[in-house]
Chain A
Amino acid sequence: MFSLSRRTFTLSFASSLAYVGFPKFGFANATNQGKLVVIILEGGLDGLAAVPPIGDPQLLEYRRLLLPENNIKIGSFFALHPSFSGFVKMLAKGEASIIHATSFPYTRRSHFEGQNVVESGSINPFVEKTGWLGRAMDMAGLSGRAMALGMPLLARGNVKVDNFFPANLKGSFDPTIDITRSLSSYFGNAEAHKTIKRSIDGVERKYQNAPKFFSRDPAQLALQAGKQMNKDDGPVAAIIRVHDFDTHSNQGADSGQHADQMRVVNDIFVNLKKGLGPSWENTVALTLTEFGRTVRMNGSSGTDHGYGTVGLLAGGLLGKSSVLADWPDMKKLFEGRDLRSTIDYRAVCAACIERAFLLDHKAIASKVFFDPNLKKISDQIFV
């Protein structure tokens, strides 16, 4: 029997976390400042597995073996994968939404190009050196400081941000101020050395107000992220990255590799809510993935890279629950293989920025996404 044990996680970096927008020292964020969490799902989330359109007769024909048996019905047309036991409760409470048949307008199905597109916010890969979240925070004057081992592209803005990420090296001791101050003035202000100087300055301030413990487990990361964001001098945004959605083989249905990853996403939403406490009312979290997956199962019980997929949103800032989809005809698949995208996911990101950071949609469209024609759909998703 051809059996495949699923890839086991290694101990480090099964997922990662970045906080951005800690206010400058001595300042706090405005108490009604909205908060944003972006959950990056690396590899390509299978939207048809996460939210199967059970009302579409084509679905069974294409992916009988990938369809979970114990779906959670959420209406006559859609169901939720059983992994989303916590998310479905948020949906019932008016604090979660689903956007289906959606994608960034990128169709070449390359991870590296796709990841660059969904983080940079430009439809041309490797052109922009900054990310849409970074540019939005610049525009809103929220750049501040960040916390991540490497600064994710999504969070890079034009205003340089310093960051921190506690080391895990026993026996080593913290850098001392005499060293960092000397190095900082040595690197001076020459253009070529600005980034390094800023980084060193950041090292010095690192240990003020920083969380001491930094887990590598995704649910724990989300819980901490929530707690940090709930503080007055905490960050306004967090980026949680989850890997292993690229299920080319043995994807599974009710259980299995993809189901496990979806449970991680569910747990992230649940723990975010838990950690945020009262700040949940003011927060919106959204998933972000480079593309969906092929409608038909492939030869190794998995799926290959596709196009249209699903986006999941949660948070009190939504004010209501909605299931937004302009469902495409599954008899006419994109290039004969993928779900079409009928909602530009950039508009969803734009809507979240608009409401969390109180920015004007037109400014977001032209300055963050470089597309003045980007539709405003915030009223469809937010109250």
Chain B
Amino acid sequence: MLFGFGVDANNSHDPAFETLRDSLLRPTERIGIESALDENPLPQPWPATLQYNLRARIARIADYEAAFNETQKIQNISTRKSRSRELKKQYWVYKADQIQFFNQAIYGNTPTRERFLHFWLNHFTVGTDTKSRNLIGDYIQNIIDPEMSGSFSDMLYSATTHVAMLHYLDNFVNIGENSKYAKKHSREFQLGLNDNLARELLELHTVSAAKDYTEDDIRALAKVLAGWFPYNLDSPNALKDIGNIRVPFSEYHAEPGSKIVLGKKYGPGVSALRAVTDDLANDDLTIQHLSSKLCKHFLSDEPSVKQTRYVADVWRKTDGNLPDVHTAVLELAYDTETKKFQSPLVWFLSMQKLSGATLIHGWRDSIEERRIHSGVYEPGKIMTEMGYDFWEKRQPNGFSSLIQDWVSSEHMERRIRLASMTYQFGRAKNSVDEMLEFLQPSQETINLINSTKDERARFVMFFCSKEIMGV
């Protein structure tokens, strides 16, 4: 149980609760290594040159499209291909984001906080396509992570109004039927409301279907959302018309008049959405839904009523202050005996931390395009093979937290294979005996691992043990 909370070889196998809580509440510093092939790569601050603000990320999308279209005109196939590759290197900042995401978990000093980051990133899922892939890094680093230090209502509003979310759930075609834009253009082409984001905001992000909202509620909420970033990601108008890209509201595309959502009236204009999301955040069904989901993700596939109530009570008492809510979950995890099966990604990252391996790219490895035979791997590749890719086109309900969805021959095969790769290529700093000393598992596990002298087999079996996998 504790292992999954990001304990690594630097902590003791039995860390104090305060150690874990510090790791949960400390703000994140962006960390990475330069190259996984260095002798002793030192975790350093993530370079400023690889940090891109949201406007720059959006601007790149149009620039890439234009540049890509130019390369398609090149007749010579090999020139065209190599030019394409260069373009990708230059514009696909998501690859740098993915390296930072993995490096943060492996080399950062807030591993417990990272676990909660994974939870919220999955709860407020943003699936991506070729255009929006470049935006997720900003979503992770500047929205989900910082908002974990504040209230749920802040995170809800920030996640909902991020360009990546507005694009993903089709809000860019959610236009007020009586907006000034509609009045001017409705003769030329079809436009109007789109209820995708409204529906998922209610069903998945807050109150859930238990609220018994009606289609009218969804439609009214769609009207409140209309006008929030009404642009294609590669549209030249997007960055021109929107002043503050964090509040990407266009009055020109918005639905005038008041709207009634779940029996309450909201006025027109930019402030309506905040009022709605605050009311949704405070709804007791949201509190119950999220408390249960947190317990399911961190404690047990079937959390007890007592556990869920404990978290919900803290939520209510602190008005959804996430540090307090997270601490409550951590308290329950620290005290509980229940085993919780580790998701493939958490398992993989924990394996890197615990063994001191450097299997995953550092920032220079990506830029220099290390080949596989060099013994370093791209995070994206790992995530795809584990079926747990945050940069993938996927469904808004995110990845399951239940063991039944993650245990199959293929998933076990992947774990054995990746453990093997980590041993063979990862330049692990810690031997199996050192890790055994640290983990102090059951006699049964010790016997298993000592049943052979083959170090690779011992390494693999260590990481497939009951203690490590959480079963």
- Interface stretch of the complex, out of A69-77, A174-182, A270-278, A362-370: A174-182
B392 to A171, Cβ gap below 8 A?
no
B173 to A169, Cβ gap below 8 A?
no
- Chain B residues lying within 8 Å of A7, measured Cβ to Cβ, are 129, 393
B173 to A250, Cβ gap below 8 A?
yes
A182 to B457, Cβ gap below 8 A?
yes
A167 to B209, Cβ gap below 8 A?
no
B194 to A196, Cβ gap below 8 A?
no
Which residues, 186 to 213 on B, are CB-close (under 8 Å) to A?
188-196, 199, 203-204, 209
Chain B CB within 8 A of A8 CB:
yes
A162 to B409, Cβ gap below 8 A?
yes
Which residues, 120 to 142 on A, are CB-close (under 8 Å) to B?
129
Total number of residue pairs linking A and B with CB closer than 8 Å: 189
Interface residues on B, range: 35 or more
Chain A CB within 8 A of B285 CB:
no
| A10 with B130, Cβ < 8 A, contacts A151-B408, A175-B413, A206-B409 known | yes
B413 to A167, Cβ gap below 8 A?
yes
| A163 with B421, Cβ < 8 A, contacts A2-B189, A12-B392, A203-B413 known | no
Chain B CB within 8 A of A192 CB:
yes
Q: For the complex formed, measure the closest distance between the CB of A173 and the CB atoms of chain B, giving whole angstroms.
A: 7
Assembled-state Cα–Cα distance A201/B412 (Å): 10
B403 to A164, Cβ gap below 8 A?
no
B417 to A302, Cβ gap below 8 A?
no
Assembled-state Cα–Cα distance A111/B398 (Å): 13
- Chain A residues lying within 8 Å of B425, measured Cβ to Cβ, are 171
In terms of DSSP, what is the predominant structure of the interface of chain A?
A: loop
Which residues, 1 to 37 on A, are CB-close (under 8 Å) to B?
1-5, 7-10, 12-13
- Chain B residues lying within 8 Å of A108, measured Cβ to Cβ, are 209
- Interface stretch of the complex, out of B14-22, B82-90, B100-108, B459-467: B459-467
B460 to A179, Cβ gap below 8 A?
yes
Q: Which B residue sits closest to A199, measured CB to CB?
A: B412
- Chain B residues lying within 8 Å of A129, measured Cβ to Cβ, are 404
Chain A CB within 8 A of B10 CB:
no
Among A182, A198, A243, the most chain B Cβ lie within 10 Å of the Cβ of: A182
- Chain B residues lying within 8 Å of A42, measured Cβ to Cβ, are 395
Q: Which A residue sits closest to B457, measured CB to CB?
A: A179
Chain B CB within 8 A of A298 CB:
yes
B461 to A183, Cβ gap below 8 A?
yes
- Interface stretch of the complex, out of B37-45, B146-154, B321-329, B380-388: B380-388
Q: Which of A13, A150, A249 contacts B194 (CB 8 A)?
A: A249
A186 to B452, Cβ gap below 8 A?
no
A149 to B387, Cβ gap below 8 A?
yes
| A298 with B194, Cβ < 8 A, contacts A183-B461, A193-B471 known | yes
| A248 with B170, Cβ < 8 A, contacts A164-B409, A186-B448, A304-B195 known | yes
- List, sorted by A's number, 7 A–B pairs whose CB atoms are closer than 8 Å: A4-B173, A110-B199, A129-B404, A180-B416, A186-B445, A243-B393, A299-B194
What are the 10 tightest A-B residue pairs by CB atom distance, in nearest-first order?
A299-B192, A202-B409, A300-B173, A165-B410, A175-B416, A199-B412, A249-B173, A301-B190, A170-B372, A186-B448
Given A196-B469, A300-B174, 8 more contacts at CB 8 Å?
A4-B232, A10-B128, A10-B129, A149-B411, A165-B410, A175-B413, A180-B416, A195-B403
